[in-house]
Structure 1
Amino acid sequence: MSGAAWAEPLRIATWNVGLDRTGPGLLVQDLTKPDAPQLDAVVAVMVALDADVILLTAVDYDRGGVALGLLADRLAAAGAPYPHRFAFRPNTGLQTGFDVDGNGRLGDPRDAQGFGLFSGQGGMAILSRWPIDEAAARDFSGFLWADLPGALLPKGDDPGLMAVQRLATTGFWDVPVLTDAGPLHLLAWHATPPVFDGPEDRNGKRNHDEAAFWRLFLDGALPMPPPEAPFVLLGDGNLDPADGDGLRDGISALLAHPALQDVAPRGTHGRVETAQAGDPALDTVLYDDLGGLRLDYVLPSRVLTVTGSGVLWPGPNAPLAAELAAASRHFPVWVDIDLP
């Protein structure tokens, strides 16, 4: 992309794309198959989304970036080239060495730093039309839960476990994208669901504290300084501020942070959910049993000018509806920005 193209706003997006598989290498196998309906749907949606930079969540990681490269090849063949790609190794499937779930066995998916059937399952990845400053990228995924000020640590956890237990389920990243107007930092995360635990509410507390991490990070209250350049905080927070399970004050406090702007991107599906407190137009995922929830976020810093936003969730008869349904139960969230 040339500098002359900078007159156009920069579209930043995130999407829980559902490209997580049950074993290592299976996503690579799928990406090499000519008949892959979900992948065809993912590509069609991403072409229509037309994001300049996108954070994908729930995409399997491999050390060589083979899967990400194959996905980029499919996108380029469809007319949506993303020449720049990046991913840190996620915490998912990385074993702690402790019996976290208390079932008497070691090495289970719930015994990992973040739930995972294998190391790298359901990681994150960035695709960009602009160069990525990999040398300046920062990975805070090793930050310990016990080191978070005011952490809601679960009672009864083994002290040895808490000495190694990371806070990030998937990862906490600060990745600079090099635009013609200067660097734009992507602050990326994918939190644990606040369910699938017991009365100790371990996942609920961890989900809360994953949001609190970013609030404290932006406040300068953690050992690592926040970025000086403009930034966008984005990813799957796995918590709705109005509906569903979880300690909602965690995400609510983050959305209200003075360094951020929540422009409340909206879908155009027109759904009505009378049993829910939140606005269905803000939802980003549809569950069969729970209905719609707002779980995915793109939150630009206050210094950025927002020129548009949305959730790519049209009505059921829209041209892209079938592809969205085949790709993922989540829907892409996007924000258009002008850099200062």
Structure 2
Amino acid sequence: MTPRLSRRRALVAAAAAGLGLPAAATATAAEPARRGGPFQSLRAATFNASLNRGREGQLLEDLATGKDAQIRAVAEVIQINSPDILLLNEFDHDDEGRGVDLFREKYLEVPQNGQSPAFYPYAFTAPVNTGVPSGLDLNRDGTVGGPDDAWGFGQFPGQYGMVVLSRYPILADQVRTFQNLRWADMPHNLLPTEFYGPEISPQLRLSSKSHWDVPVQIGTDVLHVLAAHPTPPSFDGPEKRNQRRNHDEIRLWVDYLQPGRRSQWIVDDAGTRGGLEPSAPFVILGDLNSDPADGDSWPGAIEQLLRHPRVQDPKPSSDGAVEAAETQGGANAEHGGEARYDTADFAEPTPGNLRVDYVLPARGLQIASSAVYWPRRGEPGSELTGSHPFPTSDHRLVRVDLQVKA
């Protein structure tokens, strides 16, 4: 057994115990950071890559071949955009971290369609709530079991998981995870207690997957990567349990950024209480499943974060999203929001294309540029973002370039 494998197994075992430690780093050194004078450019990105499968272990099998067409296309999108820090949503979790290693070694570190390899020596992944049996009748259908009765909707534990990849060191001993935080502990929550009843309501977990605070060392500074993937505000009944949960999952970050009493209800999986220090730089990454103007979100769900005094919204955009909305028509023609900000192709039959994927830096960080990777038809890369059946995902990679201290 090599030292790298031994170290990986120890770290992942600790993560499974709720300590939130990263999967193994590859042996390859990080690429040099882009520099320019006293500052350097850092690209942060989020990508719901649809690297989820319908059967436990299936993603590992596909990754092991090194030849899966969809995974190769996902890797090519990442290589083209070359983020320094990347959150992948919908990447099935395995407790040993094999999927993360296979994805890097057999796809990202291999040139895809002539692109340069992408090396990420540091990675973080941890258990999520999707597919984890609750032992409770959460959908109130009179039976217990199945994806609707898991803490987060999923066919098996870890489906639709998350991964943070980084070219900079992840401070493993400072990571905070919030997988087990109870929804009822949030003051003034939207929990539909009448639907769930007095037995179930106090036990429900807030995060449908998890919420992570992953500190990354960049020079002498530490950037807090706040990663999440709230539940879609759909697929429920008149009680609107998913709409409500989506709103409150987003609100967790709102409270986390508030000093003092507002964040004292928040307790991480290691038992530490409170939110982020007022002076700490951060970037929020994730498929937050909420559009400011359209779709099925609870009123004000994403606005509570976009209007937060510590958050700035670079509003990444693309011409490809405008073209797609015009070509597809349908629900897109009735939208109140601008199509250029869309990040997901949900055209048929409803709700149309939406802005649901976000990179939201702290106000103290300087933004150099931002974009949604959605080429127009016929442009290079458009074959990677076509319509259904999607070559990669129904979501697009969203990126923001920041100026940070060298």
Task: State the partner residue of 2:168.
Answer: 130
Determine the C-alpha separation between the residues in 2 that align with 1:338 and 1:6: 10
> Is the contact between residue 230 and residue 304 of structure 1 (CA under 8 Å) also seen in structure 2?
yes
Determine the C-alpha separation between the residues in 2 that align with 1:195 and 1:229: 34
Q: Does 1:52 align with 2:110?
A: no
> Is the contact between residue 308 and residue 336 of structure 1 (CA under 8 Å) also seen in structure 2?
yes
Secondary structure at 2:345 match in 1? strand
Amino acid at match of 1:308: S
Q: TM-score, normalised by structure 1?
A: 0.96
Deviation at 1:20, TM superposition (A): 0.7
Deviation at 1:160, TM superposition (A): 2.3
Secondary structure at 1:94 match in 2? coil
Q: Does 1:292 align with 2:353?
A: yes
What do you get for the CA RMSD once the two structures are aligned?
1.4
> Is the contact between residue 239 and residue 248 of structure 1 (CA under 8 Å) also seen in structure 2?
no
> Could you give the per-residue CA deviations for residues 251-278 of structure 1, whole angstroms, max 9, x where no partner exists?
1111110100011000121323432111
Amino acid at match of 2:393: S
Determine the C-alpha separation between the residues in 1 that align with 2:110 and 2:363: 36
> Could you give the per-residue CA deviations for residues 106-136 of structure 1, whole angstroms, max 9, x where no partner exists?
1210111110100000011001111111111
Determine the C-alpha separation between the residues in 2 that align with 1:36 and 1:280: 32
Task: State the partner residue of 2:12.
Answer: none
CA 1:206–1:81: 2 relative to 1, 3 Å: same
> Could you give the per-residue CA deviations for residues 256-305 of structure 1, whole angstroms, max 9, x where no partner exists?
10100011000121323432111111000001223210001010001100
Task: State the partner residue of 1:94.
Answer: 132
Determine the C-alpha separation between the residues in 2 that align with 1:165 and 1:334: 33
Secondary structure at 1:193 match in 2? coil
Query: 1:14-25, aligned counterparts within 5 Å?
Result: 14-25=46-57
CA 1:128–1:246: 2 relative to 1, 3 Å: same
Q: Does 1:321 align with 2:382?
A: yes
> Could you give the per-residue CA deviations for residues 150-171 of structure 1, whole angstroms, max 9, x where no partner exists?
1011123132222221111111
Task: State the partner residue of 2:269.
Answer: none
Larger radius of gyration: 2
Q: 1:226 aligns with which of 276, 281, 290?
A: 276
Query: 1:134-153, aligned counterparts within 5 Å?
Result: 134-153=172-191
Determine the C-alpha separation between the residues in 1 that align with 2:134 and 2:367: 41
Determine the C-alpha separation between the residues in 1 that align with 2:337 and 2:56: 38
Determine the C-alpha separation between the residues in 2 that align with 1:10 and 1:104: 51
Secondary structure at 1:131 match in 2? coil
Task: State the partner residue of 1:303.
Answer: 364
Secondary structure at 1:219 match in 2? coil
Deviation at 1:181, TM superposition (A): 4.0
Determine the C-alpha separation between the residues in 1 that align with 2:349 and 2:215: 38
Secondary structure at 1:28 match in 2? helix
Q: 1:255 aligns with which of 294, 300, 306?
A: 306
Secondary structure at 2:353 match in 1? strand
Determine the C-alpha separation between the residues in 2 that align with 1:16 and 1:313: 14
Secondary structure at 1:158 match in 2? helix
Q: 1:312 aligns with which of 349, 370, 373?
A: 373
Determine the C-alpha separation between the residues in 2 that align with 1:141 and 1:121: 14
Determine the C-alpha separation between the residues in 2 that align with 1:5 and 1:17: 25
Task: State the partner residue of 1:76.
Answer: 109
Task: State the partner residue of 2:402.
Answer: 337
Contiguous gaps of at least 5 residues in structure 1? none
> Is the contact between residue 181 and residue 339 of structure 1 (CA under 8 Å) also seen in structure 2?
no
Task: State the partner residue of 1:178.
Answer: 217
* Bigger mean CA deviation after superposition, 292-301 or 318-327: 318-327
> Is the contact between residue 145 and residue 165 of structure 1 (CA under 8 Å) also seen in structure 2?
yes
Q: Does 1:215 align with 2:254?
A: yes
> Is the contact between residue 31 and residue 119 of structure 2 (CA under 8 Å) also seen in structure 1?
no
Task: State the partner residue of 1:26.
Answer: 58
Task: State the partner residue of 1:276.
Answer: 335
Amino acid at match of 2:246: N
> Is the contact between residue 31 and residue 167 of structure 2 (CA under 8 Å) also seen in structure 1?
no
Secondary structure at 1:335 match in 2? strand
Determine the C-alpha separation between the residues in 2 that align with 1:297 and 1:248: 18
Task: Give aligned-pair identity as a percent.
Answer: 40
Deviation at 1:33, TM superposition (A): 2.0
Q: 2:231 aligns with which of 187, 192, 195?
A: 192
> Could you give the per-residue CA deviations for residues 135-189 of structure 1, whole angstroms, max 9, x where no partner exists?
1100012111001111011123132222221111111110011111411100111
> Is the contact between residue 178 and residue 211 of structure 2 (CA under 8 Å) also seen in structure 1?
yes
Determine the C-alpha separation between the residues in 2 that align with 1:4 and 1:48: 16
Secondary structure at 1:277 match in 2? coil
Contiguous gaps of at least 5 residues in structure 2? 1-29, 112-116, 265-273, 327-331
Q: 1:64 aligns with which of 86, 90, 96?
A: 96
Deviation at 1:235, TM superposition (A): 0.5
Determine the C-alpha separation between the residues in 2 that align with 1:158 and 1:195: 21
> Is the contact between residue 385 and residue 393 of structure 2 (CA under 8 Å) also seen in structure 1?
yes
